Amino acid sequence: IRARFCRMDPALARAVRYAPDIRILNQDPWEALCSFILSQCNNIRRIRGMVARLCAAYGEPARGGGHAFPAPRALAAAGEGDLRALGCGFRAPYVREAARRVACGELDFALLRRLPLPQARARLTALPGVGPKVADCALLYGLHRLDAFPADVWMKRAMRTLFPGRDPAWFGPYAGVAQQYVFHYSRNHPELFRRENAGA
């Protein structure tokens, strides 16, 4: 994959060579979906705190101490007020509804692995509170759909700056891997965006 990317474009080659050993996070599908719902309008410290409180309140005891991530059925049965009290805020009803649909089989992760990407994304964005970025994060990190390309504001700027006129489909079936390289490279090279701003 790295060799293919390096042949595609000089900017992509620079990103790959900057962090050649980068890896894709491989989470449990439910944990990934729930965590990325919680990540909206949030920072890493607060997200970790919310997840820790949810685990302590609703997760099964884990071997070696602590608690496992709560099962969908546990969060589906939780009260919205209880989830808000743990810091979930406006995301509480989104977490409950996603949990309900997973627990009852309405949202089938095995099916999402098999569906064409646009259809899999559409199934996820049908959930309240799940937009394209959260859906693509769940697909990439939870279902290992390497064709999914999460695009937040930062990634959109990186695409405009490094790959003007191109969209994520240009990267092909490993678009999610390319996203990791480009995101890491651009976050560590803010001067790229100073040039963009100067030219604006």
Chain Cα centroid distance, residue 7: 27
Backbone angles phi, psi at 198, to 5 degrees: -65, -30
Catalytic residue among 91, 96, 133, 145: 133
Q: Which two tokens stand for residue 171?
A: 């990267």
Alpha helix stretches (DSSP H) within the chain: 2-8, 10-18, 29-38, 44-58, 72-76, 80-85, 92-103, 109-114, 117-125, 132-137, 153-162, 175-187, 191-199
- Cα(197)–Cα(180) distance, rounded to whole angstroms? 23
Residue 110: half-sphere exposure toward Cβ, Cα within 13 Å: 1
Q: Is 156 a catalytic residue?
A: no
Which amino acid is residue 107, in one-letter code? L
Q: Could you list the active site residues?
A: 133
